[in-house]
């Protein structure tokens, strides 16, 4: 039996954007090739949920070399999607100042459950599972999934102010 997703992607239409890159870029400094979120579709502080979208373009920088003839989205980039979504969620929930940089501090229980290539839309969803606004640190459990709800990657990422 397939593992159940945190969300049903059909509940979050891609054209209903909560926060675009100009706004979430005030919190997350990644740009160009390392910007791994396209939009934030939903933020619900009461239910501790953030849902983001990543449009994987047909000709991304990694397509040529990972894997020639059969481009596969690198797992490291899926983990980066989780890290960027978790960092943004921590900023919003703990109200860190926009100038605070939350760096990648670790991973736990990361699993890859599928693969994909370019030219797809992905959803990233998760919840803060631990942390402290005072220490500017967080744990975030999330999933990267296809639009049909099948999970590609899941795990917990840790971040801390650097």
What residues act catalytically? 66
Q: Which two tokens stand for residue 85?
A: 């979504």
Helix (H) or strand (E) holding 14: none
Q: How far apart are CA 76 and CA 78, in angstroms?
A: 5
Main-chain phi, psi angles of 4, to 5 degrees: -80, 140
Q: Which residues contact 15 (CB under 8 A, 6 or more apart)?
A: none
Q: Which residues contact 23 (CB under 8 A, 6 or more apart)?
A: none
**CA distances for 29 relative to 15, 21, 85, 102, 156, angstroms:** 24, 10, 12, 10, 21
């Amino acid at each position: 039996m397939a593992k159940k997703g945190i969300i049903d992607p059909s509940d979050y239409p891609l054209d209903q954007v909560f926060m675009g890159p100009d706004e979430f870029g005030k919190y997350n400094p990644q740009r160009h090739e390392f910007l791994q979120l396209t939009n934030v579709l939903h933020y619900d502080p009461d239910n501790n949920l953030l849902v983001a979208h990543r449009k994987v373009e047909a000709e991304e920088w990694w397509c040529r070399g990972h894997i020639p003839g059969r481009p596969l989205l690198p797992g490291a980039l899926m983990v980066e999607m989780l890290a960027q979504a978790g960092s943004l969620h921590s900023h919003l929930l703990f109200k860190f100042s926009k100038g605070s940089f939350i760096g990648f501090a670790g991973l736990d229980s990361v699993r890859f459950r599928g693969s994909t290539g370019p030219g797809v839309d992905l959803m990233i969803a998760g919840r803060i599972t631990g942390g402290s606004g005072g220490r500017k640190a967080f744990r975030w459990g999330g999933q990267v999934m296809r639009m049909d709800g099948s999970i590609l990657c899941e795990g917990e990422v840790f971040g801390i102010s650097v």
